[in-house]
Amino acid sequence: MNKNDKTAAPETGEPVSAENRAWLDAFAQFLGVQAKRTRDAYVRDTEKLAVATHPAPLASLTRAQIARRLAQWHAQGLSGRSLTRMLSSWRAFYRFLLAQANSPIQDDPCAHLKAPRSARRLPSVLTISETQQLFNHQETEDNVMNVRNAALFELTYSSGLRVSELAGLDIAHVELVRQEARVLGKGGKERIVPIGRYAIAALERWLPVRATILREHAAEKEQALFVNQRGRRLSARSVQDFLRRLSVEKGLVKNVHPHMLRHSFASHFLESSGDLRAVQELLGHASIASTQVYTHLDYQALAKVYDAAHPRARKGKG
């Protein structure tokens, strides 16, 4: 293949044997029908493997050698996501080799390999005092949008809603007497969530204001629970912007967003109740594994208390 061909493997300046270069060029040519970014990424990732294992031919690498290379890169700080992407590129390369008429390999050395997983990042949450600071509403709000926003975010925190669920709520989905809301979550799954007393009070202040806005704009047929000043349903982006502004007004230094309120709800509820299954149901998680991250948050809080209180944990104490 011509070295100037746009589908040729990118040069790294690192040693690549003639045999490996020939296979990389052929692989790039084979991927020519792919989107350019995908093609370039596949070839670049496979070339990295060739450089890392030089002078061994790519066609001679064993499953153990590739697994060892993954482990070494993981130990050097490469993320699990990056390693997974690279492994996907290598699988494509070895499938390409297997499909050749005179294939130099008998099987895929990447088969059944899994990339090391990175440590899961814990979600950022508000402390109880920060939550109280955010929700320090006056009982009577002069600005009608402040009334709406108070109801908006009290409900978010009270019921642990996703921003898409919040924006998608219709007025018919909320039962103030029964203190519950019907929410349509991911995958079209419906769940019933309770509404706390502060959120109920905020909604009771908002609903008459909402009705007035809809009358003024001849929008009585609008079904959305939360509307803008023109009587139209709020977008998820608008909800995010309103919360960001509110957090700044309240003097919070954290970058507060709706999902942080959902995380805070889950963490605070679990801390008080210890009921992981209940948190799973309230959040609408399909798997308990998604909910278990909040147990790590509770452990961190417990560890801080331990470090501050236990005589064998306090630094500088005999």
Residue extents of the structural domains in the chain: 1-119, 128-309
Q: What does the pLDDT read at residue 75?
A: 82
Cβ pair 10, 24 in contact under 8 A: no
CA distance 149 to 261: 14
* CA angle at 130 for the pair 127 and 132, rounded to the nearest 5°: 110
Give 47-84 pLDDT, tens digit per residue.
Answer: 999 999 999 999 999 999 999 898 889 888 888 888 99
Asked if residue 33 lies in contact with residue 55, where contact means CB atoms within 8 angstroms, the answer is no
Mean pLDDT of the chain: 83
Round to whole Å and give the CA distance between 281 and 259. 17
Q: What is the pLDDT of residues 123-164, one digit of tens each?
A: 788 988 999 999 886 544 568 889 999 999 999 999 989 999
- Which CATH number is associated with domain 1-119? 1.10.150
The predicted structure's pLDDT at residue 9: 36
The band of 312, judged by pLDDT with boundaries at 50, 70 and 90, is very low
Q: Which residues are catalytic?
A: 162, 186, 259, 262, 285, 294
* 8 Å CB contact between 255 and 244: yes
Element containing residue 194 per DSSP (H, E): strand 190-194
Q: 288-295 contacts: CB < 8 A, separation 24 or more?
A: 291/266, 293/120, 293/122, 293/123, 294/123, 294/263, 294/266, 294/267, 294/270, 295/270
Using CA atoms, how far apart are residues 201 and 92, in angstroms rounded to an integer? Answer: 57
**Which has the higher per-residue pLDDT, 275 or 213?**
213
Q: 3-class SS at 153? A: helix
Largest Cα–Cα separation, the chain: 80
Residue with tokens 């079904």: 223
Q: Can you tell me the mean pLDDT for 257-265? A: 90
Collapsing DSSP to helix, strand or coil, 146 comes out as helix
Model-level pTM? 0.56
Residues belonging to the chain: 318
User: How many CA atoms, within 13 angstroms, populate the side-chain half-sphere of residue 116?
Assistant: 16
Q: Which of 171-180, 186-195, 218-227, 301-310 has the lowest mean pLDDT?
A: 301-310
pLDDT, average across residues 99-127: 83
Confidence of residue 4 (pLDDT cuts 50, 70, 90): very low
Is the pLDDT at 1 greater than 50? The verdict is no
pLDDT, tens digit, 9 for 90 and up, residues 287-299: 766 666 666 555 4
What CATH superfamily is the domain 128-309? Intergrase catalytic core (1.10.443.10)
H helices present in 53-196, as ranges: 63-75, 80-98, 128-134, 144-159, 163-167
- CB-based burial label for 40 (10 Å; 0-12, 13-18, 19+): middle
